[in-house]
Amino acid sequence: MEYINLESLFDKYTSSYLEISDSRILNSIQFKIAHSKGVAVICSNISLFVFLSPRHQLMAKTCGIFHDIARFEQLKHFSTFDDSKSFDHGEKAVEILKTENYLSIFDKTEQKAILNAIKQHNKKTPPIGDDEIEMALARILRDADKIDTLTSIADYYESKDAGKKKALELDLPNIPEVSEKVIQSLKNAQMVDYRDIRTLDDFKLLKISWIYDLNYSISFAMIIESQVVNRIFNSMKTKNKELDMLVGMAYGYAEASAIH
Ligand SMILES: [Fe+2]
């Protein structure tokens, strides 16, 4: 079976969720469909630099298309993408994929590796796995998920819809303020914690701080190429020298990591 058949399974699964009249929810569903397909393409692109075997490359793309399959159920039943208010969408995806038997073309070991990557894609801690392939799949998926999300956020802030998607921005106030803990994380070259953000500028810096959790040189190269750091930074209200320096540092880290 080729990737195209796996994508048809995804399209078949999501088609019933598109029959919804609420335009706001429909919008979010379409957004997640596009995100899943975007992540699949990025997984595939990264995997070309990580795996020699086309079979492993197919497994990486499969992780991408199915990683957020539980988002549709989550939105339908809980009207939120907040796992703490509904369910863990990584764990739930594993359940759905097993019930629907969507991974039947893969053998047991391959299935285990794919499911492990999907289960861990939304966890704070770095992925763990039983072997190199499992670990690599988990890392590729986490990088691809972040790259696609950063790109859509940068696009969003440059579009006419900027500021209209309050749920996406967690209803944070758009004021020129940045929290101390956010600054501290950036100074430590660490990912910002969701619990520390209070303003929209904090949220944007949290996204930029994802750079510190990327795994592969090619992922850093994609970040540099798409200019997402500067594009998100330019949309911020807070402007000062310290922030210029910290965001410059994040960008420099990406540049240095891209050429390893
Ligand atoms: Fe996800």
Domains of the chain in sequence order: 3-147 (1.10.3210.10), 169-258 (no CATH)
Burial 52-64 (b: 16+ CB within 10 A, else e): eeeebbbbbbbbb
How much of the chain, in percent, has pLDDT values that exceed 70? 98
Alpha-carbon distances, residue 106 vs 1, 91, 103, 221 (angstroms): 9, 19, 6, 31
Contacts of 111 (CB under 8 A, 6+ apart): 103
From ligand 1's centre to the CA of 146, what distance in Å? 10
- Count other Cβ atoms within 10 Å, centred on residue 28: 22
From ligand 1's centre to the CA of 234, what distance in Å? 26
* Residues, CB within 5 angstroms of ligand 1 (ion): 68, 122
194 vs 83: CA distance, rounded Å: 13
Which residues of the chain carry a pLDDT beneath 70? Answer: 1, 166-168, 260
Q: Which DSSP string corresponds to the chain?
A: --HHHHHHHHHHHHHGGG----HHHHHHHHHHHHHHHHHHHHHHHHHHHH-S-HHHHHHHHHHHHHTTTTHHHHHHHHS---GGGS--HHHHHHHHHHHHTTTTTS-HHHHHHHHHHHHHTT-SSPP--SSHHHHHHHHHHHHHHHHHHHHHHHHHHTSTTTT--TTTTTT----S---HHHHHHHHTT-PPPGGG--SHHHHHHHHHHGGGG---HHHHHHHHHHTHHHHHHHT-S---HHHHHHHHHHHHHHHHHHT-
Q: Give the torsion sign (CA, 89, 93, 96, 98).
A: negative
From ligand 1's centre to the CA of 204, what distance in Å? 18
From ligand 1's centre to the CA of 182, what distance in Å? 23
From ligand 1's centre to the CA of 53, what distance in Å? 26
Instruction: Return the pLDDT at 163.
Output: 73
From ligand 1's centre to the CA of 43, what distance in Å? 14
Phi, psi (deg, nearest 5) at residue 89 = -75, -15
Instruction: Return the pLDDT at 122.
Output: 92
Instruction: Return the pLDDT at 124.
Output: 83
From ligand 1's centre to the CA of 241, what distance in Å? 34
Burial 131-148 (b: 16+ CB within 10 A, else e): eebbbbbbbbbbbbbbbb
From ligand 1's centre to the CA of 97, what distance in Å? 14
From ligand 1's centre to the CA of 240, what distance in Å? 33
pTM for this model (two decimals) = 0.94
From ligand 1's centre to the CA of 242, what distance in Å? 32
From ligand 1's centre to the CA of 38, what distance in Å? 13
From ligand 1's centre to the CA of 68, what distance in Å? 5
Burial of 182: CB neighbours in 10 Å, binned 0-12, 13-18, 19+: buried
From ligand 1's centre to the CA of 119, what distance in Å? 9
From ligand 1's centre to the CA of 76, what distance in Å? 16
From ligand 1's centre to the CA of 89, what distance in Å? 7
